[in-house]
Copies of this chain bind each other. A is one copy, B any other.
Amino acid sequence: MKKHILTYGLCGGVLIVLLKLVEYRFLVVEHSIEIYGGLIALLFAVLGIWLGLKLTKNKETIIVREVPAPQSFTLNETRLRELGITRRELEILGLIAGGLSNREIAEKLFVSENTIKTHSSRLFDKLSARRRTQAVQMGKELGLIP
């Protein structure tokens, strides 16, 4: 803003000098004062318009629109290490969240049901959960599962 005003002033100064030259060399001697005034009027009008445009250049209307969240899930590896949860345990947490029973998980992973029990037990310990539903809840809160 200050820059514009400064520029405006400089242009004015230059113009004055220019006018002086014009005045003494051609116009006043050869033509009428109307031309002189008209020139000044024209130039300053143009400058004024330019300044006006500059002054209003930054009129912006910001519209904030909410778009549906793009479902970007990124695993919170830090928390994983903090809690000491292993890959296998995380995998099982995901399957539990998927609504599978221990037996189904065991079949899916080709291991015994007891193994799944061991994993989930340790998982619950690390998550401070007592039930699988609670574990799912915490897992979501901690950013371990989507």
Q: Choose among B19, B23, B99 the residue that contacts A138 (Cβ–Cβ < 8 A).
A: B99
Q: Which one of A40-48, A81-89, A106-114 contacts B?
A: A40-48
Copies of this protein in the assembly total: 2
A121 CA to B115 CA in the complex, in Å? Answer: 29
Contacts of A99 in B (CB 8 A): 129, 131, 133-138
Interface size on A, residues (CB 8 A): 56
Q: Please tell me if the beta carbons of B59 and A59 are within 8 angstroms of each other in the complex.
A: yes
A63 CA to B42 CA in the complex, in Å? Answer: 35
**What DSSP secondary structure best describes chain A's contact surface?**
helix
A132 in the interface (beta carbon within 8 A): yes
A14 CA to B121 CA in the complex, in Å? Answer: 90
Contacts of A75 in B (CB 8 A): none
A71 CA to B68 CA in the complex, in Å? Answer: 8
Q: Choose among B33, B62, B132, B136 the residue that contacts A63 (Cβ–Cβ < 8 A).
A: B62
Give min CB distance, A58 to chain B, whole Å. 8
